[in-house]
Amino acid sequence: MKIVLKNFDSILHVKRATMSAVILAAGSSVRFGESKVSASVGGMTVLERTLLAFNSCRAVDEIILVLPREGFEKYRRDFDSILPEKVKHVVRGGDTRQESAICGIEACHPKAEYIAIHDAARCLVTPDMIESVFREAYEHRAATAACRVVDTVKYADDKGFIDRTIDREKVWLVSTPQIFYANMYRAAAYTARDEGFEATDDCMLAERLGFKIKLVDVGRDNIKITYKEDIARAEEILRQRGEIV
C-alpha cells in the first residue's frame, strides 16, 4: 500500500527516507578562468557555501564531494578545513560531469534510498530549496530544482530566423539539485555509460529511460557561478537576503 505523506515533517521526524547528496566540484572552470569553487562570494568560498547549505538541510544524511581528478590531492588539502560533518567521502571525479556523478554515487551509502546530484557552483542554494525538491522526489521518485521563464521564447530555424513562438507557460529553466530514487538513478546512469550516451544534466538520463521528473519552482536565486561577473550578481542576491552587508 502506498502511503501519501501529508507534510514534510512526517518524513523528517518519523521513519523517513535516507538521502545522499553528491556535490560535483570536479569541473575545469574554463569559462571562469580559475577554480570557481575556490572563488570568494561574500567572504566565503563557493564550495563552502554549497556544502554548508547541504550540511544544514535536515533531509540530507551524508555528503559525497567530488573533486577534480587532476590535482586531487592539492584540492583535498585546500578544502579539508571547510568540510562540514556530513561530508563522509571525498572522491576523484572523471573526465566529464557524467563520469564524475558516477564516481560520486559509487561512494554513496549502499542503503541510501535517494540520491541528490548538485553542481557545487550553485552556491546560493538553500536548505529550504533542497527540502522542497526532496519532498517532491519522495512523492514522485524524481524531482529537480527549476524556475519558470519570464521572457518570450522563440524557436529558431537552422539559419537563425524565428521558426515559431513557444508557449512560455510550459518552459522551465532547470538547475540542481536533481534528486532521484537511488535505484532509478543508478539504472539511468549506468545504462547511459554502457551505451555511450552523453547528457548535459542528470534528468536527461532518467528521461531517456521513460522516467518522469517533477519540476519544482525554487525561484530565480539559484544561479550558477560560471563567469567572473556572476560573483557580483551572487553577492547582490546575498545582500537582498540579508546574509552579507
**2 part of a folded domain:** no
> Rounded to an integer, what distance in angstroms lies between the CA atom of residue 141 and that of residue 134?
9
Question: In this structure, what is the dihedral angle of CA atoms 219, 115, 131, 25, given to the nearest 10 degrees?
Answer: -50
Query: What is the model's pLDDT at position 29?
Result: 85
- Beta pairing, strands 62-67 & 87-92: parallel
Q: pTM for the full model?
A: 0.92
**3 part of a folded domain:** no
Query: What is the model's pLDDT at position 14?
Result: 36
pLDDT in tens, 30-49: 889 889 999 999 999 999 99
Domain housing 155? 8-241
Nearest-Å Rg of the Cα atoms of the chain is 18
Please provide residue 177's backbone torsions phi and psi, each rounded to the nearest 5 degrees: -75, 150
Query: What is the model's pLDDT at position 13?
Result: 45
**234 part of a folded domain:** yes
Using alpha carbons, select from 198, 197, 203, 199 the residue that is nearest to residue 173. 203
**1 part of a folded domain:** no
> Rounded to an integer, what distance in angstroms lies between the CA atom of residue 54 and that of residue 75?
20
Residues of the chain with pLDDT under 70: 1-15
Query: What is the model's pLDDT at position 7?
Result: 54
Q: Which residue has the cell 523517513?
A: 16
**56 part of a folded domain:** yes
**163 part of a folded domain:** yes
CATH of the domain at 158: 3.90.550.10
CB 108 within 8 A of CB 62: yes
Look at the chain and report how many structural domains it folds into: 1
Query: What is the model's pLDDT at position 28?
Result: 85
- Beta pairing, strands 44-45 & 40-41: antiparallel
Query: What is the model's pLDDT at position 141?
Result: 97
